Amino acid sequence: MTTMKKTLLVTACFIAGISSSAMAIDNQKTMCTNGDSTRVVEVVYTTDQNTPCEVQYTKAEGTKTLWSATNKEGFCENKAAAFVEKQKGWGWNCELVAVKPAE
């Protein structure tokens, strides 16, 4: 299975899982490494719903919100997955490392 297919499958499973859950939605965190450098792409949910959400990108210089959505389900997850694939294309090794509860 290609990496892109795996990423899409993981994203689809993640979306399906959060769509069927009435509980708080867990943040999705992907860590990318290249040599001694680390970058983190995280989908952050601010409520117990699929939206609003943000895609946050953390590197040595700090954290930035790259995208956000207030009513379009799946938007943040799709943007994060595409950005992770772009990181991989730039030579980064990326892996879903944790799904942590929303704070």
Domain that holds residue 86: 3-101
Q: Minimal CA–CA distance to 41: which of 28, 25, 24, 60?
A: 28
Give the count of domains, the chain. 1
pLDDT one-digit tens code per residue, 53-76: 999 999 999 999 999 999 999 999
**Global confidence as pTM:** 0.71
For residue 17, the model assigns a pLDDT of: 44
Q: Are 44 and 68 in contact (CB under 8 A)?
A: no
Rounded average pLDDT over 87-95: 97
CA R_g for the chain: 13
